């Protein structure tokens, strides 16, 4: 029996099955939801604003929690970014929330120092994530993602225009983070002033080319509400954790002598709009935009700085291995070139040192010869003086001996004369 006959016989024996029930791959969204719920979520908020503008109070009000807050003065020498992470849970959803506060922002004389520390912090978080991605053995599933997902930029309620520091800072950050501008302490200006202030802020942002975060309108389920909310930017907010009794219920509010400002009353401020847009509707989009837009831009720039490209000059694809090998050869060549330069420099310095030592040796030899000559001259002078002194001593000794001899002769003569005189006297008396 041939192979074709065997195949036909096998086809006859095959039993066809028809789909008689539900297959079940439409449960994939539910599986993703269950997996995400089990893993939990992370969300990181950066609060930028001057000291005392109400950043901590707004965070407490947003998440209905009393976070750990630290009082800061207006005399900080430089901007410090303080990150605090909290584990929150609502129903069966766990959220790892990180709040990053800028301490001392705008208090320095050199305003460049204010925004540069913020830029460096955001880049540092991107770099940490990139280094984790580039590892051979990665663990991104349990990696604590510290990249900033939303930046709440607090604008002082001056009612006039943005400060130059605000414009410069937002311009530096708009390609790195999702900026959501908010007018803090909006209860300090009237409604008409607030409306004009919002228009003025948006006009200045557009004229200066600052790209703030726009709520997405491509999703039909949220396009209507996001379109409406984009027209309310920047949000004018009021934060308070104090509760005041209004009618028969307790509400979060700020009580003044002239009345009560209810935080969750949309006629009083935009706090509810901010909370709904930031947490309820667009939190996942903020996370996605951070990864697909801002982080990808940082990653692409860093890899291009390292020399990695997708295509060669001929627009042909280049594999990562080829690029790595090329960079490795380039690095080894550069290393060899530097090694040769260092070797040549070392040889040159050794020669220079030898020349210096030989020159020093010649100088020492010259000084030695000079000292030797001076020593010889001094020794000759001392020998001459010694011979002169010896001659003087010999002459003196001769003179002394002659004097002693003359003195002895005179003494002998005087004694003989004295004896003769005595003898004469003795002979006379007799």
Residues 206 and 274: their CA atoms lie apart, in Å, by: 21
Which neighbouring-strand residues pair with 103? 80
Higher-confidence residue of 418 and 223: namely 223
What mean pLDDT do residues 333-357 have? 91
Determine the Cα–Cα distance for residues 105 and 114; give it in Å rounded to an integer: 6
Is the predicted pLDDT of residue 184 greater than 60, yes or no?
yes
| More reliable by pLDDT, 398 or 310 | 398
Q: What is the arithmetic mean of pLDDT over 344-366?
A: 92
C-alpha to C-alpha distance for 10 and 2, rounded to whole angstroms: 13
Q: Label residue 50 left, alpha or beta by phi (over 0 means left) and psi (-120 to 50 means alpha).
A: beta
Q: Which of 54-63, 64-73, 130-139 has the lowest mean pLDDT?
A: 64-73
What is the per-residue pLDDT for 12? 62
Q: Which residue has the tokens 């006859």?
A: 12
Place of tokens 């939190």: 283
Average pLDDT on 227-244 reads 85
pLDDT-derived band of residue 6, with 50, 70 and 90 as boundaries?
very low
User: Which pLDDT band, with edges at 50, 70 and 90, does 23 fall under?
Assistant: low
The pLDDT, as a whole number, for residue 421 is 72
DSSP string, 229-290: HHTTPSEE------EEEETTEEEEEEEETTEEEETT-TTT-SHHHHHIIIIIISHHHHHHHI
Residue 403 in this model has a pLDDT that exceeds 90: no
For residue 123, what pLDDT is reported? 93
The reported pLDDT for the residue numbered 289 is: 92
**Which of 45, 104, 116 is CA-nearest to residue 71?**
104
Band of residue 364 on the pLDDT scale cut at 50, 70, 90: very high
Residue 177: its pLDDT value, please?
93
Q: What is the mean pLDDT of the chain?
A: 83
The listed range with the strongest mean pLDDT (170-184, 268-282, 327-341) is: 170-184
CA nearest neighbour of 151 among 2, 48, 283, 12 = 48
Q: How confident is residue 73, by pLDDT bands cut at 50, 70 and 90? A: low
State the pLDDT at residue 348: 92
pLDDT tens readout for residues 106-128: 776 766 677 888 999 999 999 99
Lowest mean pLDDT among 29-33, 251-255, 406-410, 423-427: 423-427
How many Cα atoms within 13 Å fall on the side-chain side of residue 369?
Answer: 5
Beta bridge partners of 95: 41, 88
Per-residue confidence band for 315, with pLDDT thresholds at 50, 70 and 90: low
Give the HSE-up count for residue 3: Cα atoms under 13 Å, Cβ half-sphere: 0
Cα–Cα distance for residue pair 40/101, rounded to 1 Å: 23
Q: For the residues of 365-420, what is the DSSP string, one character each?
A: HHHHHHHHHHHHHHHHHHHHHHHHHHHHHHHHHHHHHHHHHHHHHHHHHHHHHHHH
Residue 58 in this model has a pLDDT that exceeds 50: yes
Instruction: Work out the pLDDT band at 22, boundaries 50, 70, 90.
Output: low
Q: What percent of the chain has pLDDT over 70?
A: 87
Distance CA 161, CA 193 (A): 11
User: 38-306 is classed in which CATH architecture?
Assistant: 3-Layer(aba) Sandwich (3.40)
Domain ranges in the chain?
38-306, 315-401
Section 190-209 average pLDDT: 90
> Token pair of 373, please?
């000559």
- pLDDT score of 424 more than 80: no
What pLDDT does residue 294 have?
A: 93
When pLDDT is averaged across residues 166-175 and rounded to a whole number, the result is 90
Distance between terminal CA atoms of the chain?
202
Q: What share of the chain is helix, strand, coil (3-state, %, to 5)?
A: 55, 15, 30
Task: Give me the mean pLDDT over the 371-390 stretch.
Answer: 90
């Amino acid at each position: 029996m041939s192979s074709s006959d065997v195949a036909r016989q096998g086809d006859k024996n095959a039993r066809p099955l028809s789909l008689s029930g539900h297959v079940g791959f439409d449960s994939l969204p539910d599986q993703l939801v269950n997996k995400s719920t089990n893993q939990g979520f992370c969300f990181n908020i950066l609060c930028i604003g001057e000291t005392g503008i109400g950043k901590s109070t707004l965070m407490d009000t947003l998440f209905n929690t009393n976070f750990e807050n630290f009082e800061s003065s207006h005399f900080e020498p430089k901007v410090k970014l303080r990150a605090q992470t909290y584990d929150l849970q609502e129903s069966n959803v766990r959220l790892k929330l990180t709040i990053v506060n800028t301490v001392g922002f705008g208090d320095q004389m050199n305003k460049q120092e204010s925004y540069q520390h913020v830029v460096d912090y955001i880049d540092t978080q991107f770099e940490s994530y990139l280094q984790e991605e580039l590892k051979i053995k990665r663990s991104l599933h349990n990696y604590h993602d510290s990249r900033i997902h939303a930046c709440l930029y607090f604008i002082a309620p001056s009612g006039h225009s943005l400060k130059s520091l605000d414009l410069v800072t937002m311009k530096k950050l708009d390609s790195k983070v999702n900026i959501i501008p908010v007018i803090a302490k909006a209860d300090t200006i009237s409604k008409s002033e607030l409306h004009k202030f919002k228009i003025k802020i948006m006009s200045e942002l557009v004229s200066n080319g600052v790209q703030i975060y726009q709520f997405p309108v491509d999703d039909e389920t949220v396009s209507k509400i996001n379109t409406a909310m984009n027209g309310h930017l920047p949000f004018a907010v009021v934060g308070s954790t104090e509760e005041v009794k209004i009618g028969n219920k307790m509400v979060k509010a700020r009580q003044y002598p002239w009345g009560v400002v209810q935080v969750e009353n949309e006629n009083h401020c935009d706090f509810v709009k901010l909370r709904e847009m930031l947490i309820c509707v667009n939190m996942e989009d903020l996370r996605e935009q951070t990864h697909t837009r801002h982080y990808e831009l940082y990653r692409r720039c860093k890899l291009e700085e390292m020399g990695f490209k997708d295509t060669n000059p001929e627009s042909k694809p280049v594999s990562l291995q080829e690029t790595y090998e090329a960079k490795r050869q380039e690095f080894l060549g550069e290393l060899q070139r530097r090694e040769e330069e260092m070797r040549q420099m070392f040889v040159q310095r050794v020669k220079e040192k030898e020349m210096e030592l030989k020159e020093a040796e010649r100088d020492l030899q010259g000084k030695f010869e000079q000292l030797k000559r001076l020593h010889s001259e001094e020794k000759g002078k001392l020998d001459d003086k010694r011979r002169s002194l010896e001659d003087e001593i010999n002459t003196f000794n001769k003179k002394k001996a002659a004097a002693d001899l003359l003195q002895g002769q005179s003494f002998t003569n005087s004694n003989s004369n004295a004896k003769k005189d005595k003898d004469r006297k003795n002979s006379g008396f007799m």
